[in-house]
Amino acid sequence: MNEAYAIPAVAVVVLATVLIGGFGLRISRTTSDFYVASRTVGPSLNAAAISGEYLSAASFLGVAGLVLVYGPDMLWYPVGYTAGYLVLLVFVAAPLRRSGAYTLPDFAEGRLESRQVRTVVSVLVVGVGWLYLVPQLQGAGLTLQILTGAPRWLGGALVAAVVVLAVAAGGMRSITFVQAFQYWLKLTALLVPAFFLLLAWHRDGGAPPAFPAGPELPSSGAGTGQPIATSRADHPLYATYGLIVATFLGTMGLPHVVVRFYTSPNGRAARRTTVFVLALIGFFYLLPPLYGWLGRLYAPELTHAPDADAAVLLLPGRTVGGIGGDLLGALVAGGAFAAFLSTASGLTMAVAGVLSQDVLPARGVRHFRLATVLAMTVPLGGTLLVSAVPVADAVGMAFAVSASSFCPLLVLGIWWRRLTPPGALAGLILGGGSALAAVTLTFAEVVRSGWLHTLLAWPAIWSVPVGFLAMILVSLATPGHIPPHTSATMTRLHLPESLTVRQTAAAAEGGGTGTRAEAGSTGTREGP
């Protein structure tokens, strides 16, 4: 790849991110602006912002790399990433917005009236956020290394610095505009080169690539996720089901996705936002598999190379060539950095929100900015310790932890009034905790082969049922612990805002005090 074109492209993306973030800073005035953009983000802008932060390094680079190495079986990744929003639309989007919360721990405490539940949810949110941030920083390091030959840590450090600056400066109001811009940039960065790649493929005869008949284990474990590859090759059907469960059910609990729904004006806007997101990310996911498919023809050596994720970056130069290939490669490089920046911004925002409310001794904008630095420092250090798992697999592990903990909490918390704090704690600890332990053991390569290794590498199949069963059984065994305001809270979650407003007015006219749901249905907290 020609550095003379690629480096300026990355620089332009970084500069645009800083400038747009600065514009958000100019219109951020209140605490509510920093945390939820004062709940004024319309469906179109919010959908573009959600899509921008959701389409991470795993989507931009990782999916193509997995399709290149393993073939069409890896198409379950984009299918699962997209279908997760359908589950979120049906079960979670509108009630979650009506909860009036700022963060997932806010929702947990408001629904179950328990500080213990809030604490456990906070720990899991931070854990999932950091687990998701590591592959974003690693992908940035890989991209900058390919562009300039710089050491791997430099790309991650650059992304970390820009993200901390953008998030700390303007909070949610700032990164909303940044992420919306970066979605359209990422889409353009893959769509335009894809057109020329297909023209070059047709020019060269249009021969289809050859994929292995079954799962193929790369010969080199470095950077290709040897532990994950081993389990996928040994037990492909189980690995596929594990991926499906994790991605279908994990989306609704991803902290950077959930927090964006709190920015919608009301539940109806949250639903419309989700529908738009399905369209935007569904269209985007048509493109990365194409790069993996063509990579088998034009970059077959990457099949057994340590960095198959680099296929997206290298293909324009391999297929088009000349100055045209250099320009297309620069566009792809800029889009890749937009992917790292947008997702890292959303994750940092979500983790910083939890840290500033539940870890630091005081709250407010100044402490939120301090939490932003802390939220990025830990995963930046993690990039130096973890290097053996490809970005898509690392993100898949974060989905597994989210599906095992937050999915049961949200689904049962929203739709089952008999959920109790002891039940929620049992499900979070047994489901989410076991999935997090399994992911940690996989990263550490404590078990390298056999069924035990496969169960640890793809935990969602067993950890999600464990989470649901623990919550249900313990809740049924502790009926006396149902929160006293459950009926009012459930009313707020499920009734449209217009109805609860009328109920509040009627209660006031009649001299009543109204229910807890009525009182909280339209109010927006101005402080965390």
- The values of phi and psi at residue 359, to 5°, are -115, -50
Q: How many helices (H) and strands (E) are present in the chain, helices listed first?
A: 26, 0
Q: Which of 249, 251, 311 is nearest to 70 (CA)?
A: 311
Contacts of residue 203, defined as CB under 8 A and 6 or more positions apart, other chains included, come to none
For residue 522, the tally of other CB atoms under 10 A from its CB is: 15
Tell me if residue 36 falls in helix, strand or coil.
helix
141: its two tokens: 């390091």
Average pLDDT score over residue span 226-235: 60
Mean pLDDT calculated for residue range 128-132: 87
Angstrom distance (rounded) from CA 433 to CA 424: 12
- Determine the Cα–Cα distance for residues 294 and 280; give it in Å rounded to an integer: 23
Long-range CB contacts (< 8 A, 24+ apart) of 213-218? 215/70, 215/73, 216/69, 216/70, 216/71, 216/303, 218/69, 218/303, 218/304, 218/308
Q: Is residue 437 domain-resident?
A: yes
Cα angle 194, 199, 205 (rounded to 5 degrees) comes to 125
Residue 349 falls inside a structural domain? yes
Percent over 90 (pLDDT), the chain: 31
**Chain CA centroid to CA 189, Å:** 20
Evaluate whether residue 507 is within a structural domain. no
pLDDT beyond 50 at 269: yes
The answer to the question of residue 528 being in a domain is: no
CA nearest neighbour of 99 among 365, 418, 413 = 413
| 36-80: pLDDT as tens digits | 667 788 899 999 999 998 888 778 888 898 888 888 888 888 998
Q: Residue 76 has which token pair?
A: 């379950």
- HSE, CB side, 13 Å, CA atoms: give it for residue 134: 26
Q: How far apart are CA 433 and CA 470, in angstroms?
A: 12
Q: Is residue 527 one of the residues assigned to a domain? A: no
- Number of domains comprising the chain: 1
For 34, the token pair is 């920093």
Residue 150's pLDDT is: 82
In the chain, the N- to C-terminal Cα span, in Å, equals 47
Integer Cα distance of 105 and 358 in angstroms: 9
Domain containing residue 109? 3-501+515-521
Structure confidence at residue 516 as a pLDDT band (50, 70, 90) = very low
Sequence-distant (6+) residues with CB within 8 A of 444 are none
* Cβ-contact 399, 446 below 8 angstroms: no
Q: What is the CATH number of the domain that holds 433?
A: 1.20.1730.10
Six-digit token string for 466: 């464990």
C-beta separation of 251 from 243 below 8 A = no
In the prediction, which pLDDT does 387 show? 59
Count the Cβ atoms, other than its own, within 10 Å of residue 154.
14
Residue 514 confidence (pLDDT)? 41
CA dist list (Å): 385 to 374, 379, 381, 443, 444? 18, 10, 7, 10, 10
User: Is residue 368 within 8 Å of residue 175, measured between CB atoms?
Assistant: no
Mean pLDDT on 74-87: 88
Q: Tabulate helix, strand, coil % of the chain (nearest 5).
A: 80, 0, 20
Cβ neighbour number for residue 261 with a 10 Å cutoff = 27
- Residue 526 lies inside a defined structural domain of this protein: no
509 part of a folded domain:
no
Two tokens at 463? 């950890």
- Helix axis angle for 288-298 and 63-70, nearest 10°, is 40
More confident residue, 484 or 236: 484
**145-197 tens-digit pLDDT:** 887 888 888 888 988 998 888 777 767 777 888 889 999 999 999 999 999 99
Whether residue 321 has pLDDT greater than 70: yes
Query: Would you say 497 and 521 are in contact if contact means Cβ atoms under 8 Å apart?
Result: yes
Residue 300 lies in a domain: yes
State mean pLDDT over 483-505: 76
Res 524 pLDDT > 60: no
Q: How far is CA 146 from CA 174, 291, 304, 501, in A?
A: 30, 17, 17, 56
Evaluate if residue 223 carries a pLDDT over 60.
Answer: no
Q: DSSP class of residue 207?
A: P
State the pTM of this model.
0.82
pLDDT digits (tens, 9 = 90+) for 329-371: 999 999 988 888 888 888 888 898 888 888 777 677 778 888 8
- Residue 316 has a CB neighbour count (10 Å cut-off) of 28
Rg (CA), the chain: 23
Residue with tokens 């469906």: 43
